């Protein structure tokens, strides 16, 4: 048997005889591995970005919606039929041990006027607990307080996108007066930037005012019912499921729903949203990964094709080696090592290509790219496996040549 080092040396000599052909053969592996690395890295980056955006919306959150309407025109979506009262909300806050805080969110889109600009933005009425639940502190100024809520004060906390469009970039809006429906509001705080949510909406294009002020100035007519949705914060991530169960049981009891009656409310959690979005992304990533894997297999077929050509071209060389004592196993090992080296070099260059091209596109389009070591190792292992699998047939064919016939080959 020929030593492994000598086999590797001979493989290197054979591959460097025709550098261009060797490179073109490896090109299929390079593109395949590069595509696998790129697709997986972009997919992982998208998932991490979605998780970060959802976690940025707040922790341990359960969202509570009123029921759906049913009428001649058809069935409405969740929240279309007011069913949750202010008393229900207070009961959730005070009676359930798994609940840490509760806050409503009432929205209205309105033109807002400053001294220099007019900007149409979202006005949200809520309570101070909302900012704790959403994990959303101010970058300057202060939040409105419980006393502001009690007195229906005309104070406002503004998001950074709304502030920039009303006052201009770099202008401190604290203490400035804005007009909403001809009522003057004083800006007392600017929120930290949140960026886009998982659905692509700008979370910073908003102005918050006390819930009582919103009810008196912006929205009337629902009386005892809570308009909009309610944010509920569980005491811990582990308590989210228990909080949803307790909320459901409490509301069914308060709304006097029988065992056969459907819920006239609905709940959802950030964990559900994360799971749904990441599941969709996993499906898309898997599809793209499959396409990339096909290109890797095509690259492997290219390796096999070139190795078969190499066996044909080197038939006389094989005959000479067998005549001087080389065993079929030695011939087979040589051609297998050549295929493996070719695939390994292609795999290494593919990793460099995939990571480099991925970061180039990520920086250009603002994507997030996460390249995991396990992905790189797996891609290299697959490329090596492709070299062995697709090099096995040519190697076996070479080892089974008859030495006498091989020496006669022209």
According to the per-residue pLDDT averaged within each range, which of 22-26, 259-263, 306-310, 312-316 is highest? 259-263
According to the per-residue pLDDT averaged within each range, which of 39-53, 113-127, 363-377, 382-396 is highest? 113-127
Residues 256-285, mean pLDDT to the nearest whole number? 77
What's residue 32's pLDDT?
82
Residues 64-81, mean pLDDT to the nearest whole number? 58
Q: Looking at the structure, tell me whether residues 236 and 108 fall in a common domain.
A: yes
What's residue 221's pLDDT?
58
pLDDT tens, position by position, 337-347: 878 888 888 88
Q: Looking at the structure, tell me whether residues 98 and 222 fall in a common domain.
A: yes
What's residue 195's pLDDT?
81
Q: Looking at the structure, tell me whether residues 19 and 161 fall in a common domain.
A: no
Reduce the DSSP state of residue 82 to 3 states and report it.
coil
Residue 197 buriedness (CB in 10 A; 0-12 / 13-18 / 19+): middle
Residues 262-275, mean pLDDT to the nearest whole number? 79
Q: Looking at the structure, tell me whether residues 204 and 308 fall in a common domain.
A: no
Rg of the chain taking only CA atoms, in angstroms = 33
What's residue 1's pLDDT?
47
What's residue 378's pLDDT?
79
Whether pTM exceeds 0.75? no
Rounded to the nearest 10 degrees, how much is the dihedral formed by the CA atoms of 243, 244, 249, 252?
140
Residues 267-283, mean pLDDT to the nearest whole number? 70
The boundaries of the domain holding residue 109 are: 84-263
Q: At what angle do helices 19-56 and 373-399 cross, to 10 degrees?
A: 150
Q: Looking at the structure, tell me whether residues 296 and 184 fall in a common domain.
A: no
Q: Looking at the structure, tell me whether residues 231 and 282 fall in a common domain.
A: no
Asked if pLDDT for residue 213 goes beyond 70, the answer is yes
Residues 122-142, mean pLDDT to the nearest whole number? 93
Question: Is 268 part of any domain?
Answer: no
Q: Looking at the structure, tell me whether residues 128 and 217 fall in a common domain.
A: yes
* Integer CA distances (angstroms), 402 to 1, 318, 387, 399, 408, in order: 19, 9, 25, 9, 10
Question: Is 79 part of any domain?
Answer: no
Q: Looking at the structure, tell me whether residues 8 and 116 fall in a common domain.
A: no
Asked if pLDDT for residue 138 goes beyond 90, the answer is yes
What's residue 54's pLDDT?
64
Q: Looking at the structure, tell me whether residues 98 and 134 fall in a common domain.
A: yes
144 or 298, greater pLDDT? 144
Q: How far apart are CA 314 and CA 258, in angstroms?
A: 85
Residues 159-182, mean pLDDT to the nearest whole number? 93
The HSE-up count of residue 349 (CA atoms within 13 Å, CB side) is: 16
Asked if pLDDT for residue 161 goes beyond 90, the answer is yes
Asked if pLDDT for residue 226 goes beyond 60, the answer is yes
What is the Cα 121 distance to its own chain's centre?
28
What does DSSP assign to residue 205? S
Asked if pLDDT for residue 74 goes beyond 60, the answer is no
Q: Looking at the structure, tell me whether residues 89 and 227 fall in a common domain.
A: yes
Q: Looking at the structure, tell me whether residues 120 and 9 fall in a common domain.
A: no
What's residue 293's pLDDT?
73
Question: Is 269 part of any domain?
Answer: no
User: In total, how many domains does the chain have?
Assistant: 2
What's residue 58's pLDDT?
61
Question: Is 270 part of any domain?
Answer: no
């Amino acid at each position: 048997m020929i030593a492994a080092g000598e086999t590797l040396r001979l493989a290197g000599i054979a591959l460097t005889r025709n550098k261009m052909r060797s490179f073109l053969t490896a090109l299929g592996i390079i593109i395949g591995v590069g595509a696998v690395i790129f697709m997986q890295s972009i997919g992982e980056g998208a998932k991490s970005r979605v998780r970060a955006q959802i976690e940025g919306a707040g922790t341990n959150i359960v969202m509570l919606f009123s029921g759906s309407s049913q009428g001649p025109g058809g069935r409405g979506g969740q929240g279309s039929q007011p069913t949750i009262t202010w008393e229900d909300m207070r009961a959730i806050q005070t009676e359930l041990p798994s609940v840490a805080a509760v806050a409503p969110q009432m929205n209205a889109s309105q033109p807002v006027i400053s001294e220099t600009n007019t900007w149409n933005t979202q006005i949200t009425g809520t309570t101070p607990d909302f900012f704790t639940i959403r994990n959303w502190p101010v970058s300057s100024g202060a939040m409105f307080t419980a006393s502001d809520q009690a007195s229906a004060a005309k104070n406002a906390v503004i998001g950074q996108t709304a502030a920039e469009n009303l006052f201009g970039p770099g202008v401190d809006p604290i203490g400035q007066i804005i007009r909403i429906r001809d009522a003057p509001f004083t800006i007392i705080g600017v929120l930290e930037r949140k960026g886009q949510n998982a659905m692509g909406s700008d979370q910073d294009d908003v102005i918050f005012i006390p819930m009582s002020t919103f009810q008196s100035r912006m929205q009337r007519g629902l009386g005892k019912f809570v308009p909009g949705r309610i944010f509920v914060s569980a005491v811990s991530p582990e308590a989210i499921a228990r909080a949803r169960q307790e909320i459901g049981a409490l509301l069914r009891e308060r709304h006097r729903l029988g065992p056969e009656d459907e819920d006239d409310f609905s709940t959802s959690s950030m964990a559900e949203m994360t799971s749904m979005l990441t599941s969709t992304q996993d499906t898309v990533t898997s599809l793209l990964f499959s396409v990339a894997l096909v290109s890797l297999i095509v690259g492997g077929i290219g390796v096999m094709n070139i190795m078969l050509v190499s066996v044909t071209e080197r038939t006389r060389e094989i005959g000479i080696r067998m005549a001087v004592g080389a065993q079929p196993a030695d011939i087979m090992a040589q051609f297998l090592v050549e295929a493996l080296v070719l695939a390994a070099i292609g795999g290494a260059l593919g990793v460099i290509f995939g990571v480099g091209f991925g970061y180039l596109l990520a920086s250009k389009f603002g994507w997030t790219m996460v390249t995991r070591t396990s992905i790189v190792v797996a891609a290299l292992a697959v490329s090596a496996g492709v070299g062995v699998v697709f090099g096995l047939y040519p190697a076996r064919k070479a080892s089974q040549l008859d030495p006498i016939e091989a020496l006669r080959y022209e």
